[in-house]
Structures are given as C-alpha cells and as structure tokens.
Amino acid sequence: MAKGKKITMQEIADIVGVSKYAVSKALSGKPGISAATREKIFEAASQLGYLDQKLIKRSANNQGQADDDEKLIGILFPNIRSQNRESSYWGRVLEGVFRGLESSGIGSVLITDDSPRNFHKIMRPEALLGIIGLGLIETSMLVELRNVGIPFVLVDHEDELVSSDSVFMNNYDILRKLVKYLVGKGHTDIQFVGDWRFARSFADRWNGFKSVMAESGIPHTPNESLLRIKPTNDKENLDLIASTLAELQNSSLPTALVCANDKIASHLLRAMQPLGIRVPEDTCMTGFDNEADFMQEFPELSTVNAESEALGIKGVELLFWRLANLQMPHEKLLLQGDLIIKGSIAPPRTAVEGQRN
C-alpha cells in the first residue's frame, strides 16, 4: 500500500461488515465487542496499516476497561395504543432494531415515555449518540430532541412540523397493487376500512386506494362510518363496527372491504360471525401487515406482508448514516411489501350469481 494514504475507520468497517463506531470501540479497547469481531477489526486495521502492531496489542490489553462517558443509542418506543413489545408487529420492529445494533458495539436504552419533561429526568442528552423512534411520538418530544441536538430517525412515523429521517413500508404503491388486483377480479363496489387520520401509514394506504378507484373510473362514495374505524379494542370502536356492518347488511354490503391493517380486519371478521356474513361468499376482505397472531386466527385472510423487522434494521442503518452525514438532507426510505392472496378474495358475488343463472 502506498505510503501517505489516509485510511479511515469507515474503510475498516466496510471490510469487516460492521459500523465505524464498532471499529472505534474495538481499537480504543472499550467493552461491548465480541472477541471474534474484535479480532477481525484488528486484522483488517493491521493489513490496511491503520495502526502498528504495538498499538493494536495495547488496545487489546485495555479491552476490559469501562468508559463512564460511553454514549448510547436511545430507542424511543412510547407505550401507547398498541405500541408495545407484546404486539406481534411492533415486537418484530423492535427486534429488528436490536438486530441492527448487534454488530455496532454500541449500547442501547429503551425509552417508553415521550414526555420531554420526564425525558430529562431519566436521561442525560449528552449520553445519547442518537435516537431511533418507533411509532407515534409526540411533536413536543421531537421538538425537544431537535433543540438539544440529538440526531434521530423515525420508524413508521413522521411529523409535519419536525422534519427528520424516516423509514416506512411503501404503503401507497402496494395498496394500489392490491386494489388493482380486486378490480381485475371484477370488483367495483369496494370500500376502505380504517381511520386514515390514525397513522401516517393509514393515510398513505387510503390515498393509494383512492387513486386506483379514480383512475379506474369506478364511481365511489366512501362510507364515512367505515372511515372512522380504528385498530383499537375500546367499546366505542367495537360498537361502531357492529352497527356499521348491520346497517350495510340491511342495505348494500360491498363486494370487497380493504382494511387498513390486519387488526381492523380481525375486528370485522369477529363482528360478522353473529350476523352470518360470510367471507368471501358475501364480501371479500383484505388486511395489511401479515401479523402472525391474526393469521393464526384467520388463516385465509389476504394481506400485505410488511417486513416489520426490516423496518427496525433499516432504521438503525439510517441513523448510522445520519451520524456520519449530519449536513445532508433528510431521507425517507420506503421498503417494498408483497401481496399475500388467500381465500378471503374471490370474484364478486354478482359475477358468481350471474354465472349460476
């Protein structure tokens, strides 16, 4: 290697397949790096000429010394709505974050309260290298993070008032694909189910739904009651579902219901049972997320496979990129999902009845 060429920690990180922060910790003798990874980092650093052998050995001898000022990655995961570790969806997102941090050598702390006041009671901002926010987070908390200068990335959430890096599923495009599939099956009486104001991902799915209905030239009048349904278990929401389904059954049940997520679809499927509404004979139905819990209960539900663990992994990658590129514009990453078509979709009942006649 030519003398005088400056070798960076990033080059070592790229060779070993870890973050440059893991390289920094290993070469400075800080704990938190496995012996195997530390050895690979030392080997790459030696081959590149980043450090001489004596310095490498000295670093290895100091690996047990702790650093009180060592910074952490904060995982801001407010325990609200269905956002918790017990959720099959959010639990997988969180696992993705942990998996993404495994090779970094950086410690993490889970923060479940997004109150700025409480945040300062339990955390020292200077102890945080950056934050990964999961799900809905109060604007006031994001403003506070921006004010104290902590870089952050949001997963499955963004705030109109506080710009930031974010990671989402490509909700808009995959919903377009789903609705086009239903239209191709002959469905024209289709309704979206879910309060699009509940989450940004719901709004993107609603907009994708509307765009295909408009482009297809299909007359569409949204059912306002269906657009108020939320993925919650409170009595008011469940009563709204039951009353709306009963009203539709007595008037005109849509041939297809496109639910904003699997939880809403599961609420509808349970409410249909005492009413005698059959899927797909009376109406077809789709969900979104491919949540394992709901798939066990309703294995024939057609849905969208949302790689929720990948969302967490990408959130970590984006945060590391941001830490190395503080002056670059904010980015929004979109991960592609896949349609999972199963028994809850069939040709519309009018077409089936016409074939019988």
What percent of the chain shows pLDDT beyond 70? 87
In CATH terms, 9-61 corresponds, of 1.10.150, 1.10.260, 1.10.3470, 3.40.30, to 1.10.260
Are 72-168+308-335 and 171-306+340-349 in the same CATH fold?
yes
If you average pLDDT over residues 172-193, what whole number do you get? Answer: 97
The model's pLDDT over 51-109, given as tens digits with 9 standing for 90+, comes to: 434 333 433 444 443 343 478 999 999 988 778 888 888 999 999 999 999 888 888 99
Q: Is the pLDDT of residue 229 over 70?
A: yes
**Residue 130 pLDDT grade (very low, low, confident, very high; cuts 50, 70, 90):** very high
* Residue range 20-31, pLDDT digits in tens: 778 777 766 566
How do residues 207-227 score in pLDDT, each as one tens digit? 999 999 999 999 899 999 999
More confident of the two residues 6 and 284: 284
Q: What is the mean pLDDT of residues 351-355?
A: 47
* pLDDT score for 312: 96
- Global pTM? 0.75
Residue 62, pLDDT score: 41
- Distance from the first to the final alpha carbon of the chain: 81
CATH code of 72-168+308-335, in short, is 3.40.50.2300
Average confidence score pLDDT of the chain:
86
The most confident of 8-17, 115-124, 234-243, by mean pLDDT: 234-243
Which of these ranges, 120-124, 145-149, 176-180, 327-331, has the smallest mean pLDDT? 120-124
The domain segmentation of the chain, as residue ranges, is: 9-61, 72-168+308-335, 171-306+340-349
Query: Regarding the domain with residue range 171-306+340-349, which homologous superfamily does it belong to in the CATH classification?
Result: Response regulator (3.40.50.2300)
Pick from 31-45, 120-134, 343-357 the range whose average pLDDT is largest. 120-134
